[in-house]
Copies of this chain bind each other. A is one copy, B any other.
Amino acid sequence: MPENPVPKQRLRAPSQRSLENRARILDAAETLFAREGFAGATIRDIARAADVPVGLVHHHGGGKEALFREVVGRRAEELSTLRLAALDAARARGPLTLAALFDCFFRPYLDKAAGGDPQWLAYARLVAIVSADPAWADISRDLFDPTAHRFITEIGALYPDAPPARVAEAFIYSVAAMLALLTSQWRVAALAGDPGAGPSLDGLIAFCAAGCAARLGA
């Protein structure tokens, strides 16, 4: 008789249901944080939306703030990978233009958002929340800034005479425009009367590339 009988299930292996609950909790948290803001969303709302008991949200999320960080981080890492891959691929094809750089930065996100996954649209609101609030500066620093800095360096290389702060400023304007495209469609529709049209990646790139060129050019 073995002294250490092998358990039928490996210790600490998460069950199928546990994984599903965890995923549903993160999705619900993403939706509600996006719609109501960090303070406006409640753990109870999230639990109800995910159809799990309240305590389980704490179990999987580790508190409201940790849950928020995890929700943001999940997509930020995926997006950074896609953006940097697009940038590397574009570099390999030849010299970069401003429009090509913005294409590498915007397209992965807009493809996801336009792909119909409403969670990716919710994420745009989260990025806007984090980007606007110095209280989340650590999230910006850890998750957004490395990739942003890479793109700023590339833009700066196209305009060697522009001071770094000016390049960063133009980049922030461009990101703000991208977030506006994703989060303020309802305002565009209200202002135009015309509800149609819809977002356009090429239009956004044209706006930002021309704006940056005007701000950074000689």
Query: In the complex, are the beta carbons of B203 and A165 less than 8 A apart?
Result: no
- Our pick among B148, B180, B183 for the contact of A173 (Cβ within 8 Å) is B180
- Report if A54 contacts B (CB, 8 A): no
Q: Which residues of B contact A149 (CB under 8 A)?
A: 191
Residues of the B chain whose Cβ atoms lie less than 8 Å from the Cβ of A210: 210-211, 213-215
The smallest C-beta distance from A196 to any residue of chain B, in angstroms, reads: 6
> B190 and A145: CB pair below 8 A?
yes
Give the residue of B128, B166, B168, B175 whose beta carbon is less than 8 angstroms from that of A132. Answer: B128
Q: With the chains together, A114 CA to B170 CA distance in Å?
A: 19
Stretch at the interface among A55-63, A74-82, A83-91, A134-142: A134-142
Check A92 for interface membership: any CB of B closer than 8 A.
no
Those of A185-208 within 8 Å (CB) of chain B? 186-194, 196-197, 199-200, 203-204, 206-208
Min distance, Cβ A133 to any Cβ of chain B, angstroms: 8
Partner among B189, B196, B207 whose Cβ is within 8 Å of the Cβ of A170: B207
A212 contact set on B, CB distance < 8 A? 207
Contact at A177–B173, with CB atoms within 8 Å?
Answer: yes
What residues of chain B lie closer than 8 Å to A181, measured between beta carbons? 169, 173
Q: Which of A4-12, A36-44, A65-73, A104-112 lines the interface with chain B?
A: A36-44
Are A187 and B39 in contact, CB atoms less than 8 angstroms apart?
no
Min CB gap A159→B, angstroms:
13
In contact, B190 and A140 (Cβ under 8 angstroms): yes
* Bound: A36/B131 CA distance, A: 14
Q: Which residues of A contact B (CB under 8 A)?
A: 36-40, 125, 128, 131-132, 134, 137, 140-141, 145, 148-149, 152, 163-173, 175-177, 179-181, 183-184, 186-194, 196-197, 199-200, 203-204, 206-215
Extra inter-chain contacts (8) besides given A131-B187, A140-B187, A211-B211, CB under 8 Å: A37-B40, A164-B192, A165-B192, A172-B187, A207-B212, A209-B214, A210-B210, A211-B214
